[in-house]
Chains A and B, each alone.
Chain A
Amino acid sequence: MNESLHRLGEYTLLMKKAISIPNRWNMFFKQLNKEIYKLGVDSLWIVIIISIFIGTVIAIQISLNISSPLIPKFTIGYTTREIILLEFSSSIMCLILAGKVGSNIASEIGTMRVTEQIDAMEIMGVNSANFLILPKVTGLMIFIPVLVIFSMFTGILGGIAASYLAAEGMTPASFEYGLQFYFNSFYIWYSIVKSVVYAFIISSIASYFGYYVKGGALDVGKASTNAVVMSSVMILMADVILTHLMLT
């Protein structure tokens, strides 16, 4: 318990240090640009590939599991859309990104810590937390809605592809009707809001674990693993809270 409180205090102090006005705005925007590319744009392909395949699989699974003649076929498209919009493109995609982006951030900052690069910044009088963490947190929070929208779009494309290619009893026309049936645009905003919160969780927790690494390469690896585990747990907890707040 004491250890958890100590870590929470340490995390809060680090965020206070990181989320402050940058010393040089031009340096901040240069770093922000780099981070958006590295953490966001570089994740686009994995998001697209996973979303297409999962969208396809969701549609096929639903088609195979709905065999009752009493349930209309457009339910397949409707359910696929709801799963993708409400949970997959935000929560599940961010859990996947926690692995990719979180470990990247933790290992990068952790390596800088053990090779004294962070100490070098501090000696120069640079606020190292602000210089290193703020662009990562801001960059991911800015770009993650783009990833979520791509994921929604390509996930639904995957479902449409399934309706053309694979599952029996599912027709493209009924699938498309289901996609448009009882559509609530608020669900897109709900997903985007969730993903922005998750982006903060992933980037800040990974930065925290990287920033306070002590030791060598082995400890950097451990910090990366801990960052992924902790941010995944926090994403799931935030999912429950946000769903309760926004949908009930």
Chain B
Amino acid sequence: MVEVKHITKSFDGRMVLNDINTVFETGKTNLIIGRSGSGKTVLLKNIIGLIRPDAGVILYDGRDLTAMKRSELNLLRREMGMLFQGSALFDSMTVLENVMFPLNMFSKDSYKAREKRAMFCLERVNLSEAEHLHPSEISGGMMKRAAIARAIALNPKYLFCDEPNSGLDPKTSLLIDDLIRDITIEYNMTTIINTHDMNSVMNIGENIIFIKEGVKEWQGSKSEVINSNNKALNDFVFASDLFRRMRELEHPRKEG
């Protein structure tokens, strides 16, 4: 479980996050949503410790990240996996070497055992056939899957995903969403996803936090999104014609 308490962050006098309080639960896919520039990426960077908040605390199962020394933070980070927007695979390494990288850096297992674990992770994301290819030789969806395999290589307790579906077609996006949800349940991880993809919200949104102009505007599940009366949330979620129609269909059914 990750708890965020009274997080505030400013850049050059401009308040980007204002007193954010929330809880990201274990075994659930927690989504941070909001418009571009709303502060969701800054919130995620604060949570993973890439940015230090001006005030407030971030608790990882009771351990305060904001009070940690660099060495303690590095130890905590070994419990984290991260899926970046652009996958952030290392260009100079093959897919297998990418997945083996965290194992090579931190695992004390033999080379054979590390390779076996990396192959297991690649098989888990259905990518074992691409083990010897470089990131430049595979598609965007495959890169995302390779990045997920790398993120889970060390059996993390916390998984962070920054825009996991950006640049992917709707079908591949669904595959990635399902994979993240399945892995979250399988490893009983606390998964936090930063997204503005409404398909993801409706597909895997178990706990959704809506950020507007640096303030937590709303929190709930995907079924609560449909019935919410929050104007800012409705303007954001139902901005597209498709989702508006979906909501119109949903309401008469429930009312009837």
Chain A interface residues toward B at CB < 8 A: 23-24, 27, 111-112, 115-117, 119-120, 122-127
Supply 5 A–B pairs (Cβ within 8 Å), ascending by A.
A116-B86, A117-B89, A122-B50, A123-B160, A125-B78
Which residues of chain B have C-beta atoms less than 8 A from A23's C-beta?
105-106
B48 to chain A, nearest CB (A): 6
A220 to chain B, nearest CB (A): 13
Contact B91 A117 (CB under 8 A): yes
Which residues of chain B have C-beta atoms less than 8 A from A24's C-beta?
104-105
B243 in the interface (beta carbon within 8 A)? no
Known contacts A123-B82, A125-B77; is A116 also within 8 Å of B88 by CB? yes
Number of A-B residue pairs, CB cutoff 8 Å, is: 55
Known contacts A119-B84, A124-B78; is A27 also within 8 Å of B50 by CB? no
The residue on B at minimum CB distance from A111 is: B91
Which residues of chain A have C-beta atoms less than 8 A from B91's C-beta?
111-112, 115, 117
> Chain B at the A interface: mostly helix, strand, loop or mixed?
mixed
Which residues of chain B have C-beta atoms less than 8 A from A116's C-beta?
84-86, 88
Which residues of chain B have C-beta atoms less than 8 A from A115's C-beta?
86, 88, 91
Complex interface residues of chain B between 73 and 92 (CB less than 8 A to chain A): 73-78, 80, 82, 84-86, 88-91
Known contacts A117-B90, A119-B88; is A27 also within 8 Å of B48 by CB? no
Contact A126 B105 (CB under 8 A): yes
The residue on B at minimum CB distance from A131 is: B105
Contact B77 A124 (CB under 8 A): yes
Which of B48, B82, B105, B160 gathers the greatest number of chain A CB atoms within 10 Å?
B105
Contact of A124 among B50, B89, B105 (CB under 8 A): B105
Contact of A123 among B80, B85, B86, B106 (CB under 8 A): B80
A31 to chain B, nearest CB (A): 10
A235 to chain B, nearest CB (A): 28
- B51-80: CB near A (< 8 Å → 1, else 0) gives 000000000000000000000011111101
Complex CA–CA separation, A126 to B88 (angstroms): 15
B140 in the interface (beta carbon within 8 A)? no
Complex CA–CA separation, A117 to B93 (angstroms): 12
Which residues of chain B have C-beta atoms less than 8 A from A124's C-beta?
77-78, 80, 82, 101-102, 105-106, 154
Contact of B105 among A27, A117, A122 (CB under 8 A): A27
A233 to chain B, nearest CB (A): 30
Contact B78 A117 (CB under 8 A): no
Known contacts A23-B105, A27-B105, A116-B85; is A123 also within 8 Å of B50 by CB? yes
Contact B78 A119 (CB under 8 A): no
Complex interface residues of chain B between 144 and 175 (CB less than 8 A to chain A): 154, 160
What are the 5 tightest A-B residue pairs by CB atom distance, in nearest-first order? Answer: A125-B77, A125-B74, A120-B88, A116-B88, A123-B82
Contact A120 B82 (CB under 8 A): yes
